[in-house]
Chain A
Amino acid sequence: EPEVTQTPSHQVTQMGQEVILRCVPISNHLYFYWYRQILGQKVEFLVSFYNNEISEKSEIFDDQFSVERPDGSNFTLKIRSTKLEDSAMYFCASSEGQGVGYTFGSGTRLTVV
Chain B
Amino acid sequence: AQKVTQAQTEISVVEKEDVTLDCVYETRDTTYYLFWYKQPPSGELVFLIRRNSFDEQNEISGRYSWNFQKSTSSFNFTITASQVVDSAVYFCALSGNQAGTALIFGKGTTLSVSS
Write the residues of chain A forming the contact surface with B, with a CB cutoff of 8 angstroms.
Answer: 31, 33, 35, 41-45, 48-50, 55-56, 58, 89, 91, 93, 97-104, 106-107, 109
Contact = CB atoms under 8 A, between A and B. Distances in A.
11 contacts: A31-B100, A35-B103, A42-B105, A42-B107, A48-B102, A49-B100, A56-B100, A98-B96, A99-B52, A100-B50, A106-B44
- A-side binding surface: helix, strand, loop or mixed? strand
A25 to B, nearest CB: 13
Contacts of A42: 91, 105-108
Nearest to B51: A99
Contacts of A99: 32-33, 50, 52, 95-97, 101
A43 B91 contact: yes
Given A42-B108, A45-B104, A31 B99 contact: yes
